[in-house]
Structure 1
Amino acid sequence: MEKTIDRYQKLNTVLGKENLKDRVDSPYDFITIANKGLNSNAIVHFKVYFDLSQKFTAALLNLSEPTLYRLQKSRQDLKRNSSVQLLEAADLFLYGIEVFESKENFFKWLHLPNTSLGDIEPQELIEIPGGISKVRDVLGRIEHGVYS
């Protein structure tokens, strides 16, 4: 439980405290924040923190690269679904780093086909609706020593 609370607090660093309009104590707060509007500058913080490409970030948020570029430049609030997707992705990445004990190991794992995911690479799955929860489930099994 303590790790989870620390992870939610770390979201302030990952997305930029100034971009979050509320405190995050649970995944339900993602919806509250998304309804109030998550500033698109959070995407810039997210990309820099995890050293992600524009292409991967756009795919992750179900946006075209030009749309992502315009959003980043405008510093306007994201739509609710993009906000939730960004919050969930940031939380997933922090959880994965926690499970694998390093950013490098987690990102290597993201690019390896996984039997538990039907031999799909986790990074491919997180780009589609519902994929983040499936990858999170596998990370939970790994964390608890269940073969995955």
Structure 2
Amino acid sequence: MGKTIDRYQKLNEVLGRENLTERVDSPFDFITLATKGINSDAVIHFSDYFNLSKNFTATLLNLSEPTLYRLLRSKQDLKRNSSVQLLEAADLFLYGIEVFESKENFFKWLHLPNTSLGDIEPQELIEIPGGISKVRDVLGRIEHGVYS
């Protein structure tokens, strides 16, 4: 339980406290925050923190790269679905880093075909609806020593 609470506190840092209307204490807060809106600067914090390309970040949020650039330039709030996707992806990445004990190992794993995921690379799944939960399930199995 302590690791989960630490992860949510870290999530506030990853996205920038100033970009969130409320503190994140549980995954249920994702919906509240997404409904109220997350400042697009949170995307910059997210991509910088995890050293992600703008192209990958845009794909992850189901946006085109030009749309992401316009959104960032205008400093608008993200739409609800993009906000939830950003929160869930940031939480997943922090969880993956916990499980693999390093950012490098987690991001290498993201780009390797995974038998438990039908030989699909986890990074391909996190870009589609429902994919984050499937990747999270595999991470949970790895964390608990179950072959995955």
Shared topology, TM-score over 0.5?
Answer: yes
Report the alpha carbon displacement of residue 23 of structure 1 after superposing the two structures with TM: 1.1
Output the aligned Cα RMSD: 0.5
1:100 aligns with 2:95: no
- C-alpha distance in structure 2 between counterparts of 1:138 and 1:69, whole Å: 33
Structure 1 gaps, min length 5: none
- Secondary structure, counterpart of 1:51 in structure 2: coil
How much does 1:13 deviate? 1.2
Mark the runs of 5 or more structure 2 residues left unpaired by the alignment. Answer: none
2: CA distance between counterparts of 1:71 and 1:58?
11
CA drift of 1:12 comes to: 1.4
Counterpart amino acid of 1:86? L
Aligned runs of 1:28-43 on 2, under 5 Å?
28-43=28-43
**How far does the alpha carbon of each residue in 1:101-133 deviate from its partner, in whole angstroms, 9 at most, with x for none?**
000000000000000000000000000000000
Distance of 1:79 and 1:110 partners within structure 2: 26
**Runs ≥4 residues deviating over 6 A:** none
State the identity as a percent.
86
Structure 2 Cα separation of the partners of residues 42 and 109 of structure 1: 25
- In the alignment, residue 116 of structure 1 is paired with which amino acid? S
How many residues in Structure 1 have an aligned counterpart in Structure 2? 148
- Which amino acid letter does the alignment assign opposite residue 37 of structure 1? G
Aligned to 2:146: 146
SS at match of 1:77: coil
Asked if residue 60 in structure 1 is aligned to residue 60 in structure 2, the reply is yes
- SS of corresponding position for 2:129: coil
Distance 2:8 2:74 in 1: 26
- In structure 2, what is the Cα distance between the partners aligned to 1:49 and 1:29? 21
